[in-house]
């Protein structure tokens, strides 16, 4: 496994598992840990933080070798409420500390939420703090006027939404980009796309491996979700090949510069997220 060094000198695996929509994530995590994975990403909204904690408790791998992330949902925004919610997340996971906590969405009182994360970081309960789904303007805002610059910004990155300008902006503030939905959740027949099929045949790899290699080769940490052990094992085998410039140029033609899901800058995005059931 390869690593990236965050702006606070904490090392984070370049490739990890997201447990979104995986209610039985304990079994998957234990299998993934056995296969060499060390980075696992959950969130308050996912409803499976307890399962993540159970896997950490049951594995024989030392806690300090694992990198565990959770995210604060916007209904828990505000300094006091956010801090209490992270304490509750720690209790659910039966952990003494978290490696990374992010603001899940750039809505509600995210400044108050960020102050809560800064406080918990100073108390040693969070090793690194950051944000998720922050576009350049809001990232620049919080990076400029907060005491601690975000270590990570977790955003949608896939061949249809490549985010090169966003990555350049993050580099300016020394914020590590991390990709969610690298496979666009299978939309637009991504696993049958002729460009990706051609590159996969060329390197004797799967399309999923090509996509993950494309992301990590850019220096972006990647998170993928799969409930199938064989896919998890296969997707980890991406550090034994490199895409050449011809491959990169072909993938560049796939960029629509639009989200496959929704635009966080559009009010309809917040309206959609507000319909998602969430029990604090």
| Cα 34 versus chain centre, distance | 21
pLDDT the model gives residue 106: 95
User: Could you read off the pLDDT tens digit of each residue along the chain, which spans 280 residues?
Assistant: 899 999 999 999 999 999 998 878 999 999 999 999 999 999 999 999 999 999 999 999 999 999 999 999 999 999 999 999 999 999 999 999 999 999 999 999 999 999 999 999 999 999 999 999 999 999 999 999 999 999 999 999 999 999 999 999 999 999 999 999 999 999 999 999 999 999 999 999 999 999 999 999 999 999 999 999 999 999 999 999 999 999 999 999 999 999 999 888 888 777 778 777 776 5
Q: What is the distance between the alpha carbons of residues 16 and 225, in angstroms, rounded to a whole number? A: 9
Task: Please indicate whether residue 46 is annotated as part of the active site.
Answer: yes
Q: Residue 268 has what pLDDT?
A: 78
Strands, E assignment, the chain? 3-5, 11-13, 15-18, 39-41, 67-72, 98-103, 126-132, 152-156, 176-180, 221-224
Per-residue DSSP letter, 171: H
**Which residue in 276, 172, 110 sits closest to 101, CA to CA?**
110
Tally the C-alpha atoms within 13 A of residue 77's C-alpha that lie toward its C-beta. Answer: 13
Residue 267: the pLDDT is 82
**pLDDT for the residue 280:** 59
Specify the pairing of strand 11-13 against strand 3-5. Answer: antiparallel
Q: Find the catalytic residue in 46, 111, 135, 173.
A: 46
**pTM for the complete prediction?**
0.96
Asked if residue 118 lies in contact with residue 84, where contact means CB atoms within 8 angstroms, the answer is no
Q: For residue 73, give both structure tokens.
A: 């949902």
Structure tokens at 228: 């199938």
- 185 dihedral zone (left: phi>0; alpha: psi -120 to 50; beta): left
Task: Tell me how far apart the alpha carbons of residues 130 and 67 are, in angstroms, rounded to a whole number.
Answer: 14
Can you identify the CATH homologous superfamily of domain 10-273?
NADP-dependent oxidoreductase domain (3.20.20.100)
The pLDDT score that the predictor gives to residue 263 is: 84
pLDDT at 70: 98
Length of the chain: 280
Q: Specify the pLDDT at position 46.
A: 94
Contact criterion met (CB below 8 Å) for 258 and 161:
yes
Instruction: Judge contact between 225 and 21, C-beta under 8 A.
Output: yes
Intra-chain end-to-end CA distance of the chain, in Å: 34
């Amino acid at each position: 496994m390869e690593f990236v060094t965050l702006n606070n000198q904490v090392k984070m695996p370049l490739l990890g598992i997201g447990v979104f929509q995986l209610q039985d994530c304990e079994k998957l995590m234990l299998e993934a840990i056995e296969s060499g994975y060390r980075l696992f990403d959950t969130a308050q909204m996912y409803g499976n933080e307890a399962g993540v904690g159970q896997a950490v408790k049951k594995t024989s791998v030392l806690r300090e070798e694992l990198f565990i992330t959770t995210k604060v949902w916007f209904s828990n925004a505000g300094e006091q409420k956010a801090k209490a919610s992270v304490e509750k997340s720690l209790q659910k996971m039966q952990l003494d500390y978290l490696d990374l906590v992010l603001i899940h969405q750039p809505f509600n009182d995210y400044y108050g939420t960020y102050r809560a994360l800064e406080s918990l970081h100073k108390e040693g309960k969070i090793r690194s703090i950051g944000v998720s789904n922050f576009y350049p303007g809001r990232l620049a805002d919080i990076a400029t006027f907060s005491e601690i610059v975000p270590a990570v910004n977790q955003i949608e990155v896939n061949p249809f939404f490549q985010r090169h300008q966003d990555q350049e902006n993050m580099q300016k503030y020394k914020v590590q980009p991390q990709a969610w939905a690298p496979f666009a959740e299978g939309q637009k027949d991504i696993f049958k796309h002729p460009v990706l099929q051609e590159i996969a045949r060329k390197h004797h790899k799967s399309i999923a491996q090509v996509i993950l290699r494309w992301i990590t080769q850019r220096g972006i940490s990647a998170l993928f979700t799969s409930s199938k052990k064989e896919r998890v094992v296969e997707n980890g085998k991406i550090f034994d090949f490199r895409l050449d410039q011809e491959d990169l140029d072909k993938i560049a033609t796939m960029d629509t510069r639009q989200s496959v899901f929704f635009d966080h800058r559009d009010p309809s995005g917040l309206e959609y997220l507000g319909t998602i059931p969430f029990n604090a």
